[in-house]
Amino acid sequence: MSEDVILRPVTLAIDHEKVRQSGDRTWALELLDEVRSPSVSPAERDDAFKTLAHVEDPRSIVPLTDIVEDPSLGEAVRDAASRVVAGFDDCTTGERRSDWWKSGDPVMMAHALRLVERSEADVVLPVAGDDAHPLQMLALLALTWGFDEPQFQAVKIRALGHPAAEVRRAAAAVLMWDEPVAAERALLTAAADTSSEVAIAAIDTLQYYPSRRVLRAAPGSVLIGWSAAHDQAMIERVTPQHRTLSIVRLASIRQGLAMTFDATGSQLLYLIGHSPPALWIADLGPTGLTHARRLIANSAIGAEW
């Protein structure tokens, strides 16, 4: 018997957290059995898929792909397998991706987009620009790396105005990698989006746009959007801490930011100047307000970018 074969009782439960932290690939076969078993609960299957994604065992590429291609399995199981294996499968061919795309099967078409390469731009670009296509969001995400020419950027920027928040969020996220100047105004508008997910994605992307327009307009836009949206669900989901972290990253370019929230978390004060990022004003009194006005004035006069 090979020394690398580990025998375990079939009833031994998988400690998912321990396997994820250690990256223990010896559990891969058990995990694959679990995701394929009709007797496991959805929660147990989700745990198994998550652990498979963590360990990234090359031996699981073929079995997971088989699940993706098996129409007898539920769509949710097949899609989950696709999401996992697409994260570390680097051995598919263009011919196979083409077969998946031409199959007409929604799961396999989505799988093809998750693994698409630059040479298949003629497939992904029309989908990314088609507002009626059910896979538009995946096509936009497929344009993240290696698609930075103007024709691709135009499609990404246009998608920031899409009616669906999930598509706007995808567009804001992928623009982080290209940093096209042409996207600035649309991203600033997205930073005040009524969808908290879109706003956060836009702010996180704008941190890489260190222009005068961004650093002066973005905080004001976000302030207006978050204080005027009157969306209680948004305020509850986007905690002050999360907003703080996002905009601290944006302001780190300018090396100065402080903010304060009122009791409801809807009022933000931005101090953009030459202060160190560690400057935080938790309770603005008269002295704090004076200092804030001075910082804002200094940042607007004679600043070199």
Examine residue 89 and state whether it is found in any structural domain, yes or no: yes
Look at residue 37 and tell me if it is in a domain. Answer: yes
Query: Does residue 207 lie within any of the structural domains?
Result: no
Residue 207 and residue 278: Cα distance in Å, rounded?
17
- Our count of domains for the chain comes to 1
pTM over 0.85: no
Residue-number span of the structural domain to which 9 is assigned: 1-115
Contact indicator for 198, 162 with CB cutoff of 8 Å: no
Q: Which helix (H) or strand (E) holds 173?
A: helix 165-178
Residue 90 lies in a domain: yes
Does residue 263 lie within any of the structural domains?
no
Cα torsion at 41, 45, 51, 55 (round to 10°)?
A: 140
Q: What is the pLDDT along the chain (305 residues), one digit of tens a residue?
A: 444 544 444 446 899 999 999 999 999 999 999 999 989 999 999 999 999 999 999 999 999 999 999 999 999 999 999 999 999 999 999 999 999 999 999 999 999 999 999 999 999 999 999 999 999 999 999 999 889 999 999 999 999 999 999 999 999 999 988 888 899 889 988 877 878 788 778 877 877 776 767 666 544 444 333 333 333 444 444 444 444 444 434 443 333 333 333 322 223 333 333 333 333 333 334 444 444 444 444 443 333 32
**Is 152 contained in some domain?**
no
- Domain membership of residue 29 (yes or no) is yes
For residue 43, being part of any structural domain is answered with yes
- The string of DSSP codes covering 186-241 is HHHHHTT-SSHHHHHHHHHHHTT---HHHHHHHHHHHHHHHHHS--HHHHHHS-HH
